[in-house]
């Protein structure tokens, strides 16, 4: 077949030469083929914000020519490759010249305008300007949006790019004012209990301010306090479980003079995970008036919550793709937000049911209610968090847990990436490969740095990727640094019995804070002027660390090989059990299933399945293997071979907890057919071993 193809190509080439001779036309020398194209300066005008970059585009470039770029002043910089960097506000020109065979000609000039962004620190309106919240009913606090206030979309009218007119989701902590049946004042007969279910559900400091008046003719003691219940959690190793409801209460009293209005302030420390919260005012046998009651919730003493949230946007990046997603959501088009990360993204310790308090789910809800059309049902959500996931596992799971979960379109409109917690020293290239994969598919990429401590966080290193690709970056830790004494150990991490905060997980309040930080980034972008997308083609952008794993696909025991042209065959051999129940389950509902196993379709070797190797023939340039990392000598080890050559051992360690460990079996530049073999080591044939999944690039 190859010989026939070559003969056809040769016959075509001869016919072309003869045609050229017959028609008297001059044949084009392949070496001079570019001379037939006219070189033109495609980029004529550029508008940039300070710090942004733009590459000058030239069409019909001659490979033998040299191109030079010269800036007219120091408002901008321009590299040898024509990359403009905005330095200062103002205007400048870039002169572009082409030199060929010692002859230089001017291709033209590029007019550059450099602008500065307005000094905005937007967040949700209720956070930047805490104020009065009037609830729908008496003696309760709530500022949650109602369906009746949400606009509807008329299909007969033109969509608008204006933000949806709806209340924004209330922030985790804010100043609230109590409304007594439309009045700020209430006459109390000895005692009043005010139910405030949402006021302190995240725990923290509760500051109560009120004015009191009584006319008994002598001073009277008035007590101010709270009562309710909270969820008690206990920790056993890496696992957190709810134990029971415990009562909570505290009170303070003061002497109120007769006939004189007295303003008093009280501060209470409320336990985390408050399930029920009631404010209580009482004076035994005394009628009194209470007026101007406010409740201010704070995560810890002297916390400037609005400032923390406003300072958490590390960068809004090039806003073109996020703005596009916002505009689509407002116009009623389908928009998908996906979150890829580890245990914090999964929602570990975030909530009791359906993961509603997880920062991923909560920030999605805020985006949906703020920018979605009508009831926001055109905005969709994918949680692809999994405990213990480094970037090397994330790139394996990306197709299965993100792309294969897409119900509207092929790729997420916005992808959040969070792997700073679990990544080690050699994961930077897989981290970048996820970024480049998503950018190449047209997604807006947001880098999420979830840790507030510096022991495990890679924010300093990984933020370099955000700067390099000009991505939006959200840093709750940077927001926390705006506080003089951030008491995050107490209010933002569930670390009971564990003093090492680097391994703690955010509690409900911490997740809500992170969601507010993400919403602040969205509000920041929404108020900016729309920019031109800076990623025209990734072919023009060299990787910072590596891109060998871009476009990686997921291979599992359930994969339909008829849909995978690059996977020629899979022979499980003695790895013939396709389930492993000794693994953890997801914190959220996936595909309608609660407690789905992390890897429901595996290749497992057991003590009774024999000793035959696992073999797979794959056209690929890179192969990663995710296998079960179990602790103890009862679990086996397996050797890995590529094309008959041993490339390493897949083993177990003392630190394994049935998590996934990653082995780099192949990493090349060229896609070729390779045979992957995994064989139990001699003497370990009677021990269990599980292959979770295989990632390959074709």
What are the Cα distances from residue 135, in Å, to 141, 168, 225, 305, 431? 5, 15, 21, 22, 45
Q: Which of 67, 65, 64, 66 is nearest to 31 (CA)?
A: 64
The better pLDDT of the pair 678, 55 is held by 678
Handedness of CA 370, 372, 375, 381 (dihedral sign): negative
Lowest pLDDT segment from 62-71, 369-378, 438-447: 62-71
The better pLDDT of the pair 291, 585 is held by 291
> Has residue 138 got a pLDDT over 80?
no
- Helix, strand or coil, per DSSP, at residue 99: strand
Lowest pLDDT segment from 402-416, 585-599, 665-679: 585-599
What whole-number distance in Å separates Cα of residue 488 and Cα of residue 203?
Answer: 12
109-119 mean pLDDT: 73
Judge whether 260 and 200 are in contact, CB under 8 Å: no
581-605 mean pLDDT: 85
Judge whether 515 and 363 are in contact, CB under 8 Å: yes
What whole-number distance in Å separates Cα of residue 527 and Cα of residue 572?
Answer: 55
Q: Residue 72: CB partners within 8 Å, gap ≥ 6?
A: 92, 93, 94, 95
Give me the pLDDT at residue 113, please: 85
399-407 mean pLDDT: 94
Mean pLDDT, the chain, whole residue set: 80
The better pLDDT of the pair 643, 181 is held by 643
Give me the pLDDT at residue 281, please: 97
Residue 26 — pLDDT band, cuts 50, 70, 90?
Answer: very low
Residue 304 — pLDDT band, cuts 50, 70, 90?
Answer: confident
| Tens digits of residue pLDDT in 451-477 | 655 444 478 888 999 999 999 999 888
Give me the pLDDT at residue 286, please: 94
Give me the pLDDT at residue 12, please: 32
pTM of the model: 0.71
| Tens digits of residue pLDDT in 426-456 | 889 999 999 999 999 999 999 998 765 544 4
Judge whether 693 and 548 are in contact, CB under 8 Å: no
Give me the pLDDT at residue 515, please: 92
Q: What are phi and psi of 354, to 5 degrees?
A: 55, 15
Q: Give Cα 627 to chain centroid, integer Å.
A: 25
Alpha-carbon torsion angle 619, 622, 626, 631, nearest 10: 130
Give me the pLDDT at residue 204, please: 84
27-55 mean pLDDT: 65
Give me the pLDDT at residue 243, please: 60
Total residue count of the chain as it appears in this document: 698
| Continuous segment of H or E residues that includes residue 557 | none
242-271 mean pLDDT: 90
Give me the pLDDT at residue 234, please: 59
248-271 mean pLDDT: 94
- What is the DSSP code string of 167-226? PPPPPSS-EEE--BTTBSEEEEEEEEEEE-TTTTTT-EEEEEEEEEEB-SSS-EEEEEEE
| Continuous segment of H or E residues that includes residue 71 | strand 66-71
Q: What percent of the chain has a predicted confidence (pLDDT) above 90?
A: 47
| Continuous segment of H or E residues that includes residue 540 | none
Give me the pLDDT at residue 125, please: 30
Q: Give Cα 237 to chain centroid, integer Å.
A: 27
Residue 212 — pLDDT band, cuts 50, 70, 90?
Answer: very high
Residue 354 — pLDDT band, cuts 50, 70, 90?
Answer: low
Q: What interhelical angle do 459-469 and 428-440 show, nearest 10?
A: 30
- Highest mean pLDDT among 41-55, 116-130, 406-420 belongs to 406-420
> Has residue 157 got a pLDDT over 70?
no
Give me the pLDDT at residue 31, please: 36
> Has residue 236 got a pLDDT over 60?
no
571-592 mean pLDDT: 87
| Tens digits of residue pLDDT in 478-537 | 887 767 666 665 556 554 434 344 446 777 778 888 999 999 999 999 999 999 999 988
Q: What are phi and psi of 40, to 5 degrees?
A: -135, 150
What are the Cα distances from residue 454, in Å, to 341, 346, 564? 18, 21, 42
> Has residue 559 got a pLDDT over 90?
yes
| Tens digits of residue pLDDT in 311-352 | 899 999 999 999 999 999 999 999 999 999 888 888 876 765
381-406 mean pLDDT: 92
| Tens digits of residue pLDDT in 594-604 | 888 889 999 99
- Helix, strand or coil, per DSSP, at residue 612: coil
65-77 mean pLDDT: 90
């Amino acid at each position: 077949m190859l010989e026939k193809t070559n003969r056809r190509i040769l016959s075509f080439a001869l016919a072309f030469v003869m045609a050229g001779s017959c028609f008297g036309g001059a044949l084009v020398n392949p070496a001079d083929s570019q001379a037939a194209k006219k070189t033109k300066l495609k980029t004529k005008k550029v508008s940039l914000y300070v710090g942004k970059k733009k590459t000058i585009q030239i069409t019909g470039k001659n490979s033998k020519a040299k191109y030079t770029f010269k800036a007219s002043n120091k408002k901008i910089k321009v590299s040898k490759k024509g990359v403009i960097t905005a330095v200062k506000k103002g205007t400048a020109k870039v002169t572009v010249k082409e030199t060929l065979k010692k002859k230089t000609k001017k291709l033209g000039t590029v007019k550059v305008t450099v602008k500065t962004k307005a000094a905005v620190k937007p967040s949700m309106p209720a956070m930047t300007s805490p104020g009065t919240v009037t609830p729908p009913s008496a003696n309760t606090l709530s500022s949650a949006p109602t369906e009746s206030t949400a606009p509807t979309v008329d299909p007969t009218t033109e969509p608008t790019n204006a933000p949806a007119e709806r209340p924004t989701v209330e922030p985790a902590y804010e100043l609230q004012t109590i409304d007594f049946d439309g009045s700020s004042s209430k006459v109390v007969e000895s005692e009043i209990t005010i139910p405030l279910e949402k006021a302190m559900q995240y725990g923290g400091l509760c500051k109560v301010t009120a004015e009191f008046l009584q006319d008994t003719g002598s001073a009277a003691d008035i007590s101010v306090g709270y009562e309710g219940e909270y969820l008690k959690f206990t920790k056993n190793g890496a696992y957190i479980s709810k134990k029971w409801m415990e009562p909570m209460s505290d009170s303070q009293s003061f002497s109120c003079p007769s006939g004189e209005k007295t303003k008093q302030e009280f501060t209470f420390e409320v336990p985390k995970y408050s399930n029920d919260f009631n404010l209580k005012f009482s004076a035994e046998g005394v009628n009194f008036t209470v007026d101007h009651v406010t409740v201010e919730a704070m995560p810890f003493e002297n916390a400037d919550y609005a400032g923390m949230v406003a300072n958490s946007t590390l960068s809004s990046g090039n806003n073109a793709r996020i703005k596009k997603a916002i505009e689509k959501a407002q116009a009623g088009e389908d928009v998908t937000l996906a979150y890829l990360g580890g245990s914090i993204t999964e929602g570990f310790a975030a909530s009791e049911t359906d993961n509603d308090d997880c920062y991923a789910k909560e920030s999605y809800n805020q985006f949906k209610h703020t920018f979605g059309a009508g009831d926001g049902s055109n905005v969709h959500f994918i949680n692809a968090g999994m405990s213990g996931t480094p970037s090397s596992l994330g790139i394996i799971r990306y197709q299965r847990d993100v792309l294969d979960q897409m119900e509207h379109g092929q790729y997420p409109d916005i992808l959040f990436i969070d792997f700073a917690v679990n990544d080690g020293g050699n994961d930077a290239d897989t981290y970048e490969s996820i970024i480049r994969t998503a950018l190449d598919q047209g997604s807006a990429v947001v880098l999420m740095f979830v840790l507030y401590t510096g022991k495990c966080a890679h924010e300093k290193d990984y933020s370099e990727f955000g700067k390099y690709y000009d991505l939006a970056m959200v840093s709750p830790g940077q927001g926390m640094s705006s506080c003089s004494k951030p008491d995050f150990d107490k209010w933002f991490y569930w670390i009971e019995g564990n003093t090492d905060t680097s391994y703690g997980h955010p509690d409900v309040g911490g997740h809500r804070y992170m969601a507010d930080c993400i919403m602040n980034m969205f509000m920041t972008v929404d108020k900016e002027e729309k920019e031109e997308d800076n990623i025209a083609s990734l072919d023009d952008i060299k990787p910072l660390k590596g891109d060998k794993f871009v476009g990686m696909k997921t291979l599992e025991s359930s994969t339909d090989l008829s849909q995978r042209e690059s996977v020629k065959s899979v022979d499980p051999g003695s790895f013939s059990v396709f389930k492993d129940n000794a693994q953890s389950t997801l914190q959220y509902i996936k595909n309608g299933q609660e407690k789905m196993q992390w890897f429901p379709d595996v290749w497992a070797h057991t003590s009774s399945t024999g000793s035959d190797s696992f073999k797979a023939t794959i056209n690929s340039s890179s192969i990663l293997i995710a296998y079960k990392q179990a602790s103890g000598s009862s679990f086996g080890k397996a050797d890995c071979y590529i094309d008959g050559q041993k490339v390493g051992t897949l083993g177990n360690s003392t630190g394994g907890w049935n998590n996934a460990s990653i082995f780099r079996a192949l990493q090349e530049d060229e896609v070729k057919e390779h045979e992957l073999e995994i064989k139990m080591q001699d003497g370990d044939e009677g021990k269990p071993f599980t292959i979770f999944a295989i990632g390959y690039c074709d």
